[in-house]
Amino acid sequence: MIQHHYAHLLSVLAEKGLVNGRFLGLSADGTGYGSDGAVWGCEVMAFDLSGFQRLAHLEYTPMPGGETAIRKPYRMAYSYIRTHIGDIDCGRGYVKEFISSIDEEERSMLNFAIKSGVSPQTSSLGRLFDGVSCLLGICRVNTYEAEGAMKLEATAEEYNTEPYKLEVIDDGSMKTVRLRELFMGILSDIDGGLSPGEVSYRFHITIADVLSGILIDEARVGYDAVVLSGGCFQNLLILRLMMKRLRASGIEVLYNVNTPINDANICIGQAFYGGYRLGR
């Protein structure tokens, strides 16, 4: 079986007809099971046709109720807050109002699901889009796939601002993007009166900045190109921001152009891998 996010990246090599070389990739989407049993979705990988090595990801967050958290972004928003902010900072301002908007009985169930360890853990960028979309009052419940993420992108209003300062932890073998400062910054901006469009744009430039920064840092080792794939790159704002920064650093960037960039490319990557291995 070819791992989901690895297959995303291989689909780009298939499109470009590349069988040789060593590549650095970012595979970003909503849901794909990882080799550690968690739900992946924002994975920096060194890879080629012999396999991959995971190098970086977003900090894990529980998905209370599993797939129900995909349909109900307010559950992800609640989980991000409870997991990464803590009780003291949850007792004031907009975050207190948001928490109170969830029925007390459901909150009790969510608290159990988050703290007990029964919920799947996720590093998904798609779930992060959902959670932020909900906090900004854009989409509380998804009525179709990726509704919250698409509306979050559509809401973004470009203005002159700086990204939120996120911490990236490096233990020597894996980099992890911490999420506390992201949510503290978003909630502070909401309390400060910034519009949903302004906060959405600042969120987008933050994600593009931190992920591009990791790729630029890892690329110093030497790769043939950086590869971007996965459903989150249907978000043209994220794709444009990342392409601009990576190319400004002199990095060649490859992504799906003539093949789908979302889950429809998984079979392409898998078939490419299988054909290569059988033909050796």
Q: How do 175-177 and 51-58 pair as beta strands?
A: parallel
CATH 3.30.420.560 region(s) of the chain?
4-56+222-279
Taking each helix axis as running N to C, give the angle between helix 180-191 and helix 196-219, from 0 to 180 degrees, rounded to the nearest 10: 160
Q: What length does the chain have?
A: 280
Q: How do 226-229 and 23-33 pair as beta strands?
A: parallel
Q: CB neighbours of 219 closer than 8 A, spacing ≥ 6? A: 24, 226, 249, 251
Query: What is the architecture, at CATH level 2, of domain 4-56+222-279?
Result: 2-Layer Sandwich (3.30)
CATH 3.30.420.40 region(s) of the chain?
61-206
pLDDT value, residue 39 = 98
Q: CB neighbours of 257 closer than 8 A, spacing ≥ 6? A: 15
Pick the CATH number of 61-206 from 3.30.420.40, 3.40.190.10, 1.20.1300.10, 3.30.300.130: 3.30.420.40
Q: Which two tokens stand for residue 245?
A: 């920064």
Q: What is the pLDDT along the chain (280 residues), one digit of tens a residue?
A: 799 999 999 999 999 999 999 999 999 999 999 999 999 999 999 999 999 999 999 999 999 999 999 999 999 999 999 999 976 566 678 999 999 999 999 999 999 999 999 999 999 999 999 999 999 999 999 999 999 999 999 999 999 999 999 999 999 999 999 999 999 999 999 999 999 999 999 999 999 999 999 999 999 999 999 999 999 999 999 999 999 999 999 999 999 999 999 999 999 999 999 998 887 6
